[in-house]
Structure 1
């Protein structure tokens, strides 16, 4: 049986790099992306990504042309799982889905995972704070759910969910965090494998429990 393929947007550090390593360990065909400027700046995180043996493509969520070029470079082959992880929250992930959808539709049971945040939940917002971040994640969630519902009507066989990975110590959080990275990654890997079409448009915590929008 041929190995499955995963593309992780933002694969050179933090959650993305740890997920990438987990997929490599399970013998997936793994592609990770970095921003073009990350490579130009000779960022040391590139070395960490290269050490995994994963294929590397360049995507900048703020420049759709880089997404289109990456989709062309990926080639005309199936993509089983797309993980939108980079910290630009809303439009970039949806543009990435747009350009990689033909690859996803070549793979039976293809899945899309958008790394979101419980801060994007409107119903659980009981104490405010982090307004810009909340708005951006809520926009990502709404875009993902809307797209998922439209695909159901169109008969597309791709399942899309949003996921809260936990409050982890990464550069984005200023190295603050309360959840354990290894535990979160293990839970996410299990969740990814267990996604079914019935979960389309859902919002999940890393441990598989559901989050209300």
Structure 2
């Protein structure tokens, strides 16, 4: 018996880790939907995503209406996996140099946007027999392992994303929803966000994270895992 095709939505799919998720899952036979920000439509930065043959949707985490419109555009779609992958540059001023606008921007992109995506795409996830939300986090969002004052805006927003992960996992379990939630640390990958610093191969990291996503159980405890499957402290 042929297994039904699974569908994934990757938010932040025009480059880096998000694009690699699309490529990897497409190769594995998934139906893939990748998001781009509206202003990048027609830009050469989305050419690789277009080349995958994925469906493309416009989402800007800073604009809830784009998330609502995307959910409506795909209102009949069954989502097996939602991957919140968009992020912001890691390199930033010292904590006392941050402005209110800097901090709000980090939270809009890396915490509030993912929450709104989970909210508006929840009906799509509930159509799947078993679905998963994967929030791409960072060990820099770990409170228990924090040792310095670098990039506090990034750290705070990722810590809040981890809180979202735990909260949703516990709420879904209490409601009997068959949706698992996991926070994933992809490792030090050379991407635009990291200014192309890193020593982890993007293909290997994403392939392993795909395996981890496949093993998330709705009834299990919320987990924060690195790309190798090792636990990271909240």
| Structure 1 and Structure 2 fold alike (TM over 0.5) | yes
CA distance in 2, matches of 1:3, 1:204: 26
> What do residues 120-164 of structure 1 show as CA deviations (whole Å, max 9, x unaligned)?
000011233111110010011112211221222222221111100
For residue 218 of structure 2, the aligned residue among 185, 197, 203 is 197
| Counterpart residue number, 1:110 | 131
Match of 1:4 in 2: 6
Question: Quick one: distance in 2 between partners of 1:157 and 1:193?
Answer: 13
1:200 shift after superposition: 4.3
Gaps of 5+ in 1: none
> Tell me, what secondary structure is at the counterpart of 2:110?
coil
CA contact (8 A) 2:83 2:133 kept: yes
Tell me by how many angstroms 1:7 deviates.
0.4
The answer to whether the 8 Å contact 1:94/1:144 transfers is no
- Report if the CA contact (8 A) 1:161-1:200 is conserved: no
Q: Which moved more, 1:65-74 or 1:124-133?
A: 124-133
Counterpart for residue 230 of structure 2: 209
Q: Corresponding residue for 2:17?
A: 15
Q: Over the residues paired in the alignment, what is the CA RMSD in angstroms?
A: 1.1
Q: SS state of the match for residue 108, structure 1?
A: coil
1:46 equivalent in alignment to 2:67: no
Q: In structure 1, the residue corresponding to 2:82 is in which secondary structure?
A: strand
Worse-matched range after superposition: 174-183 or 107-116 = 174-183
For 1:97, the equivalent position in structure 2 comes to: 118
Measured in 2, the distance between the counterparts of 1:50 and 1:126 equals 41
Note if 1:126 corresponds to 2:128. Answer: no
Distance 1:155 1:197 in 2: 9
Q: Which residue of 2 aligns with 1:72?
A: 72
Q: 2:52, 2:65 → 1: CA distance?
A: 27
Superposition misfits of 4+ residues, deviation over 4 angstroms: none
Name the counterpart of 2:96.
none
Q: 1:206 Cα deviation (Å)?
A: 0.7
TM-score norm. by structure 1 comes to 0.95
| 2:130 counterpart of 1:135 | no
Aligned residues: 211
SS at match of 1:167: coil
| 1:154 aligned partner | 175
Q: 1:192 deviation in Å?
A: 1.5
Q: Secondary structure at the match of 1:90?
A: helix
Name the CA distance, whole Å, in 2 between partners of 1:36 and 1:65. Answer: 12
Is there any run of 5+ residues in structure 2 with no aligned partner, and where? Answer: 88-108
